[in-house]
Amino acid sequence: MTTPPPAPSRRTLLRALAALPASAPALGELPGLLDTADAAPASGYATRYTIVPFLNSDDGTVNVYQSDDATDFRLLQSSAYTPPDNRIRDASIFKHTDGYYYVTYTTHTWQDESTTIGFARSADRVAWTFLYDYPIPLTDLSRAWAPEWFVDDDGSVNVIVSCSTTDDEWIFTPYVLTATDSALTAWTSPTELSGIGPNHIDTYIVKIGSTYHAFTKNETAKYIEYGTAGALEGPYTISRTGDWAGWGSYREGPSVIQLDNGGRRIFFDGYGDGTYYYSDSHDTFATWSAPTALPTLSGTARHFTVIKETVPGGPSVPKNATRSLRSANYPTRYWEEVSALLNLPVVTSSSATADRQAATFTVVAGLADADGCSFRDASGNYLRHYDFRGRFDTNDGTTTFAQDATFIARTGTADGSVRFESYNYPGHYLRHYNYQLRVDITNGTDLFRRDSSFVPVTAWA
């Protein structure tokens, strides 16, 4: 089979074109503050991730999507913000201390000179108000692209922006601007992030402890590279180049967020193959999971950043209580342990006593995270996933077992229903398939959401 050539980079396309003739209260995770040990949301609260991407089909507007698991994003508002002039690309979002959400963005399409970055804000993530276009004060500036928020642990609000000058308009270098007022209307002069160097674009910074971690696209190699520094301005040491993480080439727009199990997830735009990807790390960026296509958004959404919040209104699952778990979309069927495996048979008041007992479980604090859930049967064995099948085993005291047996409660599709996300396989849920309970990755469909929704009810036994 002949492999088709990869899509050209933006830089290659630009050079070719140039040659042609002429609101509820929320606890938010600020960009850069990723060193806290995250945990599942407490009972009655929910995790919420928000993105504001421009569209593959239209860079004149953005949609707003939200997710409770950083995998299954659902549309909150289409065409939520259209700037009064120009375009909106590469929108980055954060929640400021004044309670408003702010986006900053690229103001022109990639073919045109673009010397400003735009700003808008919203009280509810749905209705947005244009604030201003800010001219980047760099001599001989040609383009200012991909502004990214970064809030340091001293509370300072920064924007990392990729800039090129007229002597080589397609060679970008990362700069930082720092807000000098709380209204975000005045900024310091741009300072280059030293050590990263020219021909790097879409630089995204996160901070863990006292170390600044930079993810940045090398426009020549077309890989996302990685480096660290002891100060925001650098100097950075780029220590990972090429396909160091296994993400492949023709990747751009990295954004990193912390998950409820403490791991970090990177999102990036696979513009070469039209797919948006994510990948997870649980060892401070040393190793990463294989890149996985983001369901529902691939081929639609382009270059975005992600914010995470903890908000009221999540599911409440009583702990240290016996419950039976009823399927939300097959209401005569319940969880039942059958030969140590978890199935979904019909259970009624006339079912045998043994069946009703096998359909009764004790909900306890999660073995790996007390704000999560674990489920114990009458003999003291715990529900865990093994080869992605739900089964009951004796707790062997290992970290692996504790994580396999812990599930994070997410809001289900029906009133009172709950979805149970695997603690150590984010985006994977207990769901029924052929009336067996498995841990499968969400595909973003309504059917999957219904199949993974269960209602805790009064125990059968």
The residue among 14 and 164 whose pLDDT is bigger is: 164
12 — pLDDT class (breaks 50, 70, 90)? very low
Is a pLDDT exceeding 80 seen at residue 15?
A: no
pLDDT at 460 over 50: yes
In this predicted structure, what is the pLDDT of residue 112?
A: 87
Predicted local distance difference test score (pLDDT) of residue 113 = 87
Residue 417 banded pLDDT, cuts 50, 70, 90 = very high
- pLDDT tens column, 187-212: 999 999 999 999 999 999 999 999 99
What rounded mean pLDDT belongs to the chain? 92
Residue 22 pLDDT exceeds 90: no
Average pLDDT in the 353-377 region?
A: 98
pLDDT of residue 14: 35
- Cα within 13 Å of Cα(50), Cβ side: 31
**What's residue 2's pLDDT?**
30
When pLDDT is cut at 50, 70 and 90, the band that residue 37 belongs to is: low
* Integer Rg of the chain from CA: 24
Please state the rounded mean pLDDT for residues 117-143. Answer: 97
Task: Return the pLDDT at 106.
Answer: 97
On the question of pLDDT at 300 being above 70, the answer is: yes
At residue 11's C-alpha, the angle toward residues 8 and 13, to 5°, is 55
Phi and psi for 19 in degrees, rounded to 5?
Answer: -80, -10
Nearest of 102, 287, 84 to residue 182 by alpha carbon: 102
Give me 108's structure tokens. 């022109």
75 has a pLDDT exceeding 80: yes
Does 376 score more than 60 pLDDT? yes
Query: What is residue 10's predicted lDDT score, i.e. its pLDDT?
Result: 38
The DSSP result for 368-398, as a single string, is S-TTSEEEE-TTS-EEEEETTEEEEE-----
For residue 373, the model assigns a pLDDT of: 98
pLDDT digits (tens, 9 = 90+) for 142-175: 999 999 999 999 999 999 999 999 999 899 999 9
d(C-alpha 286, C-alpha 384), whole Å? 27
pLDDT in tens, 357-366: 999 999 999 9
Q: Looking at residue 35, what is its pLDDT?
A: 37
What tens digit of pLDDT does each residue of 379-413 get?
A: 999 999 999 999 999 999 999 999 999 999 999 99
Q: What is the mean pLDDT of residues 324-350?
A: 98
* pLDDT of 16 higher than 60: no
The Cα 402–Cα 379 span in angstroms is: 17
pLDDT digits (tens, 9 = 90+) for 84-125: 999 999 999 999 999 999 999 999 988 888 999 999 999 999
**Amino acid 111: pLDDT:** 83
**Contacts of residue 207, Cβ cutoff 8 Å, sequence gap at least 6:** 32, 33, 34, 35, 152, 153, 213
Q: Which pLDDT belongs to residue 80?
A: 98
| pLDDT > 70? residue 19 | no
pTM passes above 0.85? yes
- Percentage above 90 pLDDT, the chain: 89
